[in-house]
Structure 1
Amino acid sequence: ALYALRSFDYGEVREVGLWVWAEDGGSPALSSNVSVRLVIVDENDNAPQVLYPPAALSGSVWSGVELAARSSEAGALVAKVVAVDADAGQNAWLSYELAKATEPGLFRVGLHSGEVRTARSPLARDAARQSLVVLVKDHGRPALSATATLSVVLAESVAELLAELGSAARAEAEAGAGEAGGSLTRWLVLAVAAVSCLFVAFLLLLLALRLRRWRRSQQQLLAAGSGALRGVPATHFVGIDGVRAFLHSYSHDVSLTADSRKSHLRFSADSCCDTLPARPPPDEPAPLLGDEEPAGAQQADPAPLPVSSLKPRRI
């Protein structure tokens, strides 16, 4: 039994020669040899390759264009499709057939030659530009195929051919410009939408920052107000018509005698009082400075006088 240690490529190796030697286990051993010749069979692993017409380039209207006269008769040669196959034997046998056409009954393709001929005379109603799709197929198992596209222009002269090709080029250019304009419009709309979204997001962020700053300032004001009044005793607030007012008042005693050298001004220890100082009624005369009150009587606090007006003087 012979086993292959690797796969064979028909394009590289098509025949292999071997010598096989056989020996028995007797004494003395007897042997013999034989020549073995292996023939590699082709496998259909290559599809047909179209040489003409060449593959159409992007944006080109000249690829595979052929001229056919409108006055031509049936059987007139228009073009020929050329294709090759890298396989061998029947795997390389190619056949041609018309797969698609603008006017199906106007052209035909030779089965083995690939020649494109007119099946009838062109009519006035036939379109000036005809598109043909030719299918190229080999005879392998399974069969592989390729396609070729031909453009046939029905015209009487080269000038008409060039005019037809120019109009086709302009039509394709306008279509491309329309597609480019539509694409540009879409991009512009997307750009405007993106800018609008960014602007709205910026406004929302700015509003949030302003609101946060306003809340922080309100909290700082509340904290500052509560901290300033937290240590003030309750006796420093008096109720006047339902309003709590903060009052700082200072009380002092004034003693004046006939001898100015004994007159003095003394501030009391408490700098704040719980009630407002009482004023004498308007009809009651103010007591003289020299009058003495009896012992045990409560002396009313006089109205506070500015310190600058209490200057000692001789009497």
Structure 2
Amino acid sequence: GALVLTVRASDADWGQNARVRYRLREGRLRGAPLSSYVSVQAETGALYALRSFDYEEVRELELWVRAEDGGAPPLSSNVSVRLLIADENDNAPQVLYPPAPGSGLGSGSGSVWAGVELAPRSAEPGALVAKVVAVDADAGQNAWLSYELAKATEPGLFRVGLHSGEVRTARSPLARDAARHSLVVVVKDRGRPALSATATLTVVLAESVAELLSELGSNAAPAEPAGSLTRWLVLAVAAVSCLFLAFLLLLLALRLRRWRRSRLLPPPSGTLRGVPASHFVGIDGVRAFLRSYSHDVSLTADSRKSQLRCAAGSCCDTLPARPPPDEPAPLRGEDVAAHRAADTDALT
């Protein structure tokens, strides 16, 4: 909607014949009609932009504006308008080398080797090590690039060309210098405000490619075990969880089995069918069951007869236990009476 310019036309006639109207002659630009880019106000001839123009897409725009009076028949005249698009600093520099870690060239297994350069330890000052390559899509001053070394492992060992982007040695490497160096190069354009981009280079001080590969392998090797260690930790946690779950299931099964057995079998007690457990006596390794029996003995002092009464079913189907050899045999009723009489006579 910005005003681009105003087209003015005059007519020497009077009245309606001198009234001028403007319109845009149809045309196409990049496959789209011109009317989608600009418009002309019929009464004033003001030319307005209908969209923003990008210098990288459209650098110039040529169109025709027609001025027509109000006479009968109407008379007209055409004017050619050429619009030159000015560039603005709307594009930051793009680094082509070394590739960024997230780019296609620096992804996958090749990311370890992206941006790695070899510099011999015997290099002289000013020896070329690498070159940072960058482009800017803008034009003119906005596309002029400058390079600057922003960060380095050893600040005084390398330098970067201001306009070339060449990385060279500032001095000869020393024995105390580290084998692996990281360089961060900032690329800036000359626009206002200036836009910038960064590039990261890895320089290895080595005399041969084999030494370079050995140095890179020693630094890149820990990355793989880190992922492997994480994988093993996950597997260990999963194994411990499975074992714990199996233990819980086993404990639950044992509890269930004990509960079922308690339901099927009677609870243990000290009696069996009303018989005390003390009546089970082991004889030669065999448990014999002795049933209870009871008897009443009636004795009189003046009579030698005794009465022995046994309870029914007390010893019908069992035999009395044999007394030990060192103990006297139990007395029957009559023997008990005689024995008591003899004791009485002895006392008197």
Hey, what does 1:92 align to over in structure 2? Answer: 143
Pair 1:79 & 2:124 matched? no
Offset, 1:106: 1.0
Offset, 1:59: 4.4
Offset, 1:189: 2.8
- Change in Cα spacing, 1:208 to 1:44, as seen in structure 2 (3 Å) is farther
Instruction: Report SS of the residue matched to 1:3.
Output: strand
- Change in Cα spacing, 1:102 to 1:24, as seen in structure 2 (3 Å) is same
Hey, what does 2:239 align to over in structure 1? Answer: 192
Hey, what does 2:9 align to over in structure 1? Answer: none
Q: Deviations over 1:258-285 (max 9, x none)?
A: xxxxxxxxxxxxxxxxxxxxxxxxxxxx
Equivalent of residue 163 in structure 2, options 112, 118, 133: 112
CA–CA distance in structure 2, aligned partners of residues 33 and 181 of structure 1: 76
Hey, what does 1:172 align to over in structure 2? Answer: 220
Instruction: Report SS of the residue matched to 2:148.
Output: strand
One-letter code aligned to 1:34: V
1:187-226 aligned at under 5 Å gives the runs 187-196=234-243, 198-199=245-246, 202=249
Equivalent of residue 183 in structure 1, options 208, 218, 230: 230
One-letter code aligned to 1:8: F
Pair 1:10 & 2:61 matched? no
Instruction: Report SS of the residue matched to 2:223.
Output: helix
Instruction: Report SS of the residue matched to 2:121.
Output: coil
One-letter code aligned to 1:41: A
Q: Which deviates further from its counterpart, 72-81 or 95-104?
A: 72-81
Offset, 1:114: 0.5
Offset, 1:184: 2.4
How many residues were matched structurally?
Answer: 214
One-letter code aligned to 1:134: V
- Change in Cα spacing, 1:131 to 1:213, as seen in structure 2 (3 Å) is same
One-letter code aligned to 1:115: E
Hey, what does 2:322 align to over in structure 1? Answer: none
* 8 Å contact from structure 2 (residues 188, 197) kept in 1: yes
Hey, what does 2:187 align to over in structure 1? Answer: 136
In structure 2, list runs of 5 or more residues that go unmatched.
Answer: 1-45, 101-105, 265-348
Hey, what does 2:202 align to over in structure 1? Answer: 151
One-letter code aligned to 1:185: W
Equivalent of residue 117 in structure 2, options 41, 66, 70: 66
In structure 1, list runs of 5 or more residues that go unmatched.
Answer: 219-315
Instruction: Report SS of the residue matched to 2:149.
Output: strand
1:304-315 aligned at under 5 Å gives the runs none
- Superposition CA RMSD, Å: 3.3
| TM-score using structure 1 length | 0.56
Hey, what does 1:124 align to over in structure 2? Answer: 175
- Change in Cα spacing, 1:71 to 1:163, as seen in structure 2 (3 Å) is closer
Offset, 1:195: 1.5
Equivalent of residue 41 in structure 1, options 86, 91, 94: 86
One-letter code aligned to 1:102: T
CA–CA distance in structure 1, aligned partners of residues 177 and 92 of structure 2: 34
Offset, 1:191: 0.5
Q: Which deviates further from its counterpart, 78-87 or 20-29?
A: 20-29
**More relative contact order in 1 or in 2 (CA 8 Å, sep 6+)?**
1
Equivalent of residue 163 in structure 1, options 195, 199, 211: 211
CA–CA distance in structure 2, aligned partners of residues 207 and 96 of structure 1: 77
- Change in Cα spacing, 1:143 to 1:211, as seen in structure 2 (3 Å) is farther
One-letter code aligned to 2:161: G
Q: Deviations over 1:173-221 (max 9, x none)?
A: 2x13431332123212321243145336646865897799899x89xxx
- Change in Cα spacing, 1:154 to 1:167, as seen in structure 2 (3 Å) is closer
